[in-house]
Chains A and B, each alone.
Chain A
């Protein structure tokens, strides 16, 4: 379903989890490792495209076919190496999308300076989770279940196809609760590439090409996804 591949640097603590999850979701991934142990581990976990590279050498990185990758994920265990890698990638290729993990406050800043497009701070997300557990325990638990699970209730992004009956509808008028699907928010391309929540109370007109985010049971979402391709609402 995704044509572009994803390159994961590092098959350590984080890399392992992410790579396995992506593989299960049908993504095509490339794992790049610099240590032999992790390289072997990745091999034995049946990943097809695993490479052993010394990522500190620019000539090695240059050989990567950048065009075919959609994202570069830097999750090396060694944070110094991770920053260095991010910096090397950015200096070599100016318009790639780099996602990096940081496990301390100082590193987050360095990664951002090094040119990562998105930095996920291990402690920041954890600290936020503590807040959420403290403030709204049940909502947090449920939300986590929605995000984490592929079965049952989950979130899904859907692109509004051309000729869909949704094209031209006002977002506030839509109610698909009868179909078992709740509209959470959308990206209106007319207003720039920003995610807006449905409850923000803004008047949105949907166009084809906009993305909507829905929540619902998997089966309902599946049938809804085919439903919106139709010209008329049943």
Chain B
């Protein structure tokens, strides 16, 4: 038996197809990257909605048998399948057995199948007891026809939809945070309801017609304490009314208490929830900016007003500055960009992330750069360097681009003094405000530009000044007319915006793209 199970575990563990199937099931259920997950989710949602619709419809109308069969067999079958899949991928028994076997072998002690099997099954059981697993299980139950009561469990199918909303999890999270207060209140509530329910039963059961059982008494207590007060049961004796007064007053106090606990829990977490929402929103786009530090440079950056920056998020660890940024109308989050977990929330596998480390402290900027690079080397970092002496450190930290405000300003002043005409030109080009733009055209593979000679493109007719080609590390200035363009070249051109755009558009066919 032991040997059979062990060899089965080895077989499964080393079977490529088994592992592939499991991996596929796992991504289908959990990984948004799986292209089929969308369809799977949509199907589940469709099944839930139709089955609830049938439940409502059949209350007053006869249901055709095929619809009934669809509801019982098909929907339940799919849900059962889903339940089993989730249970299956939750953990890997074969792996646990093998690792236990290897450990036993290593320590040269006897291998006990029982222990590890128990552990594995317990962990499966643990999954089965999670709320979402219970909901899934209850959603299958209505298939069992003989018990009509189980039909009501179709409503549990609606709860399956909760898996697709994050807000409910956040709500539960908030409530869990206030577990202690809420539990205390719950116990107090139970205590009051029980004592007054029992009291009214003892005192009025004989005199009051509507109170027949203890259940009636407790029902009355709950209806009264919640201030709902249906009025179907009401006390008739004086002492009964006195109890009512007490229960109503405590009820009002308790309800307001519960409300305030929940509200305060939410307002405490509101900022965090909002920030999570911003990050989620960001992760949906395929390219965005993370700007660290809301200082002079960042303010100026936003004020340039050249092109609306859409996908960005501002991080600053100083709440005051974050407040200021929000007042100025920017999306800001009060988080420390030098913390690993903060940057790790961003989806760097899908989106092209550019991080601007623009705080006024070099130490901070280096730390943020290192942090970003440790989270993922895919994150492009543009760092601000204040002290030229730290330049080398930024290179070591892996910053992709460095920005030295002092240096930039110095160069500009220097140019303004030595070449005043040039200064105007360069300033115009750099600020992009003028009729001249220096732009780059990225030549992708299989575009119409590849293989064409410079002369045949006739930049002059397009009113474009062709300056050169960046090919790999080399820059070819003013190449001769017979030079042909290769894939991955970057053409450096200058001209009015509309000429450049027209040129780009004309050569767009065939997959041309530019930044």
Contact = CB atoms under 8 A, between A and B. Distances in A.
B194 interface: no
A219 interface: no
B436 A131 contact: no
Interface stretch (A57-65, A82-90, A141-149, A161-169): A141-149
B421 A157 contact: yes
Contacts of A132: 430, 432
Contact of B419 (A125, A128, A157, A216): A157
B421 A187 contact: yes
**Most A-side CB within 10 Å, residue of B289, B414, B467:** B414
Interface stretch (A30-38, A43-51, A177-185, A223-231): A177-185
**Most B-side CB within 10 Å, residue of A129, A131, A143, A180:** A129
A130 B382 contact: yes
Contacts of A131: 301, 304, 306-307, 432
Contact of B413 (A120, A200, A211): A120
A101 B409 contact: yes
A22 interface: yes
A94 interface: no
A100 B361 CA distance: 25
A40 interface: no
Contacts of A215: 467
B411 A25 contact: no
B477 interface: yes
A204 B467 CA distance: 21
Contact of A125 (B412, B418, B477): B412
B490 interface: yes
B430 A213 contact: no
Contact of A138 (B358, B440, B465): B440
A184 B161 CA distance: 63
B496 A200 contact: yes
Interface string B387-413: 000000000000001010111111111
Contacts of B496: 197, 199-201
B418 A13 contact: no
Contact of B410 (A14, A136, A138, A157): A14
Contacts of B470: 138, 142
A126 B297 contact: yes
Contact of A217 (B296, B460, B477): B477
Contacts of B436: 185, 197, 199-200
A101 B306 CA distance: 23
**Most B-side CB within 10 Å, residue of A126, A132, A133, A195:** A126
The contact size tier of chain B is 35 or more
Interface residues of A, number: 66
A209 B289 CA distance: 47
A98 to B, nearest CB: 12
Contacts of B417: 6, 18, 22, 27, 71, 73, 99
B197 interface: no
Given A184-B494, A217-B477, A195 B463 contact: no
A67 interface: no
B1 interface: no
A27 B425 CA distance: 22
A103 B413 CA distance: 13
B278 to A, nearest CB: 20
B416 A185 contact: no
A127 interface: yes
B415 to A, nearest CB: 6
A22 to B, nearest CB: 7
A211 B421 contact: yes
Nearest to A17: B410
Contacts of A111: none
Given A101-B409, A136-B439, A124 B300 contact: yes
B432 A216 contact: no
Contacts of B434: 197
Contacts of A155: 419, 422, 425-426
Given A128-B431, A130-B356, A14 B406 contact: yes
Interface in B412-464: 412-419, 421-422, 424-426, 428-432, 434-436, 438-440, 460, 463-464
Interface of A: 6, 13-14, 17-18, 21-22, 25, 27, 71, 73, 75, 99, 101, 103-105, 118, 120-139, 142-144, 147-148, 153, 155-157, 175, 177, 180, 182-185, 187, 195, 197-201, 211, 213, 215-217
21 contacts: A17-B414, A73-B417, A105-B303, A120-B413, A124-B304, A127-B304, A128-B430, A131-B307, A137-B515, A138-B440, A139-B439, A142-B468, A147-B426, A157-B422, A182-B465, A184-B465, A197-B494, A199-B463, A200-B496, A201-B496, A217-B477
